[in-house]
Amino acid sequence: MSGKKLQAFLKSPSWPWLLTAFFLVRWSLGFILGPSGYVRLHDTLEGELVWLVLLKKYQVGFEYTDYTLIPALMNGLPRAALPPGFSFNYLAVHLLGGYYGYQLIQLLVHSIGFLGMFLLLDRHILPSATGRPISWFVAFCFGMIQVFPVFGLAVQGLPLLLFAFYNVYIRRDRWYDYLIILLFPFFTSFVWGFTTIASAVVAFLVVEAVRRSVIPARFILAFLGHCFVYLMVNLPLVFLYFFTFGFRAHRKEYRPDETLDALTGLADTAFTLFMSHYHIAYFTPLPILILMAIASRYPGNFRPYRRIFLIMTSIALFYGFYDLLARYLYKPLPIVLALKAHRFITMLPMLWTLLLALSLHHLARFASSRWPALWISGCFFMTLLVADDELVHNIRNISGHSRKPGYSAYFSEPLFQQIKRDIALPDSAYRVVSIGMSPSVAQYNGFYTLDGLFSVYHYGYKQSFREVMAGELERNPSNRKYFDDWGNRCYYFPAERGHEARDFLIGKNAQEPPLDTLHIHLEAFTALGGRYIFSALPVKKLPPGLRLFGVYEHPEAFWRVYVYENVLNETTS
DSSP string, 77-95: EEGGGSPPSSSHHHHHHHH
C-alpha dihedral (365, 368, 369, 373), degrees to nearest 10: 110
Average pLDDT across each block of 10 residues of the chain; the chain has 573 residues. List them in order. Answer: 54 75 92 94 92 95 83 93 91 95 95 96 86 89 90 90 93 94 91 83 81 83 93 82 73 77 87 81 86 88 90 90 76 63 84 93 82 86 89 89 92 97 95 97 97 93 96 96 93 95 93 94 95 96 94 96 88 55
Domain boundaries, the chain: 3-398, 412-572
**Among 164, 221, 166, 227, which Cα is nearest to 198's?**
227
Contacts by 276-280, CB closer than 8 A, 24 or more apart: 276/345, 276/348, 276/349, 277/319, 277/345, 277/348, 278/42, 279/43, 279/148, 279/151, 279/192, 280/147, 280/148, 280/155, 280/345, 280/346, 280/348, 280/349
pLDDT of residue 1: 46
**Among 540, 546, 538, which Cα is nearest to 522's?**
546
pLDDT of residue 192: 82
**Beta partners for residue 561, in sequence order:** 552
pLDDT of residue 200: 86
Q: Per residue in 405-454, pLDDT tens?
A: 999 999 999 999 999 999 999 999 999 999 999 999 999 999 999 999 99
Phi-psi group of 73: left, alpha or beta (phi > 0 → left; psi -120 to 50 → alpha; rest → beta): beta
**Among 150, 250, 232, which Cα is nearest to 455's?**
250
422 SS3 class: helix
Distance CA 255, CA 232 (A): 30
> What Rg value do the Cα atoms of the chain yield, rounded?
25
Distance CA 166, CA 173 (A): 8
The model's pTM:
0.93
